[in-house]
A and B are shown apart, each in its own frame.
Chain A
Amino acid sequence: MIQLESVEKVYRTSKIETVALTNVNLSVRGGEFISIMGPSGSGKSTLLNVIGLLDVPSGGKVSINGQPVTSYSDRHLAQVRNEAIGFIFQTFHLINDLSVVDNVEIPLLYRRKLSGSERRKLALRALDRVGLHARVHHFPSQLSGGQQQRVAIARAIAGNPRILLADEPTGNLDSQMGDEIMEVLKRLNEDEGTTIVMVTHDPRLSGQTERIVRLFDGRQVN
């Protein structure tokens, strides 16, 4: 499902060159739930961004569903992100001006074939799946942190992507809310076969995943 071969990422400015990833090789099977761990600055988020096609590797090859995507155009990459990948961020990144259901509809807006009513139906179903059907017309600022992250998960799964990329999804939540979010992710993985790659610092959470990829100074250490 996700294939990284000899991936490198170097950030260059006129004065300095920072190596973020060196020779990363990773293969994630469909339906797998893996976690990426490592100290701060080890390249976890960079790796997640490369997998999610938000960042372009400086070298190596990235394939999604068997298709090498490294040379795709902006428009084509946007289409792959829209159809194949859902993102969950540590700080939720909900749009405060939009209601819960409008936030969840965002990925669906970029699917031309969907009508307004179909979008609304899919968004409501996604909210139902994360247990937030009673909050659809609320605004993000009216929700708790845990609820906001549920909305973010609903947004990530609204378009039924086969891959979920979660960047420290419980990092801004207390342990109880973090556990609830983890349960939602596990359910999505187990019940619906969604492939999940999660960046975390928390060994308690990574222990619940099938495999742990460890990074140190941009290199895989396991």
Chain B
Amino acid sequence: MLKNYIKIAFKVFLRRKFFTFISLFAISFTLVVLMVAVAFLDHTFGKQPPENKQDRTLCVFHMVMKTPDGGGTWSSGGGYKFFDRYARNLNGVEKMSLCTETEPVFSYHNGEKIQSYLKRTDGEFWQILEFTFLEGAPFTSDDEKNVNFVAVINDATRKKFFGDESAAGKTIEADGQRFRVVGVVANVPYLRRTPFADIWVPISTMKTNNYRGELMGNFNALFLARSRSDFLAIKDEFQVRLKQVEFPDPREWNQMYGVAETYFENTSRSAFGRQENYQSQNAKFLAALIGAMILFMLLPTINLININVSRIMERASEIGVRKAFGASSWTLVWQFVVENVLLTLIGGAIGFALSRFVLQAITKSGFFPYAEFHLNYRVFLYGLALAIFFGLMSGVYPAWKMSRLHPVQALKG
């Protein structure tokens, strides 16, 4: 029976070429936009190297310090002193790492000015994050402790400085400092906030030691939990530690706020919450994302429903014949839903092909450095689910309306 449904569906698609084109265009265009959005979200928040342990990692991205009356606010990354003194040895944390926010630096190479993004890290950074090393190895905690001017650079930076030659053991200059390259890693996309940089060097190579006495600064802290189930305890204990901070002059600043969280939680809290509010805003953020997606799909779906209703009503005679020869209303609903899902899947396939093309174009444009948007199996499954949902949404109502047709009326057309 399914074969018959598919056969007639293709005949109908070919007979009504304009309708088919409009339907396929609406489905595929909507899917392309959704797929690009999903690929973007996946690329930004999904688990991918070097954040292979993302599901066990929490990070403090942002801190807030306030005056006693709450009127003055200092908002920035955390300070090295705060993290070093108050955030170490949290229960459930296997490893902790400190690193600075990525900052643009300039180098002069063969008379040419090169801009790179530089991040200062410790040795644990390379143990929590699993970079793909193309050459050499990461620097260690000892390098950091001993103020060794060593650097790990990415593949793009190697090309800029050394062309196709090996970089390990060679020296590069960045921000007026010289570093010996100990390792080269694969490029990490710009949108991966925690690991992204072009050049990674030890924290201790900072030009001054002032950072060691700061409660507020431009540091992030990474916590690798023993297990995801430890997240809540780690977050709670971090809040307790915040209360223990000794302020140099409590009349000036006497309150600190911050949250250990995932990048997704950080983004949702930035969108819907306040920095002082430690409650997760994930539910609101997800609801907003899903709501936006549904809203975006709703217009073409309503349009398709209308087209489908008129298309199906044009086939009233066929409906009458099928009813006369033994099709129940539900059998007919099934037939038309199959037709619609088939049309949607074809639109979905076109959408996937177009999405691949669009994502490749975005990747090649270099608008997001080192970004590689692609349709992985996870994105493919999201898309497939969306396509089927789309097909059902736009097919069920017309099919149900059609199935209510009285056979005699249907036969009269």
Contacts and interface: CB of A to CB of B under 8 A. Distances in A.
Contacts, number: 65
B325 A87 contact: yes
B15 interface: yes
B158 interface: no
27 contacts: A54-B407, A54-B408, A55-B406, A55-B408, A74-B328, A75-B328, A75-B330, A78-B323, A78-B328, A81-B324, A83-B326, A86-B325, A87-B324, A93-B317, A93-B321, A97-B12, A98-B8, A98-B11, A105-B4, A106-B321, A106-B325, A109-B1, A109-B327, A110-B325, A110-B326, A110-B327, A111-B326
B177 interface: no
A107 interface: yes
Interface in A95-111: 95, 97-98, 102, 105-107, 109-111
Interface string B216-227: 000000000000
B7 interface: yes
Interface residues of A, number: 27
Contacts of A83: 326
B3 interface: yes
Interface string B1-34: 1011001100110010000000000000000000
Contacts of A55: 406-408
A49 B408 contact: yes
B259 to A, nearest CB: 58
A155 B325 contact: yes
B318 interface: yes
Given A52-B324, A95-B318, A106-B321, A74 B4 contact: no
Contacts of A75: 328, 330
B73 interface: no
Given A75-B328, A81-B326, A110-B331, A95 B321 contact: yes
Interface residues of B, number: 26
A56 to B, nearest CB: 9
A89 interface: yes
B329 interface: yes
Interface in A36-81: 49, 52, 54-55, 74-75, 78-79, 81
Interface of B: 1, 3-4, 7-8, 11-12, 15, 317-318, 320-331, 406-408, 411
Contacts of A110: 1, 325-327, 331
A19 B168 CA distance: 98
Given A97-B12, A106-B321, A109-B327, 20 more contacts: A49-B408, A54-B407, A55-B406, A74-B328, A74-B329, A75-B330, A78-B323, A78-B326, A78-B327, A81-B325, A93-B320, A93-B321, A95-B318, A98-B11, A102-B7, A106-B322, A107-B325, A110-B1, A110-B325, A110-B326
Contacts of B1: 109-110
Nearest to A106: B325
A151 B278 CA distance: 74
A89 B320 CA distance: 11
Nearest to B5: A109
Nearest to A84: B326
A168 B58 CA distance: 79
A102 B4 contact: yes
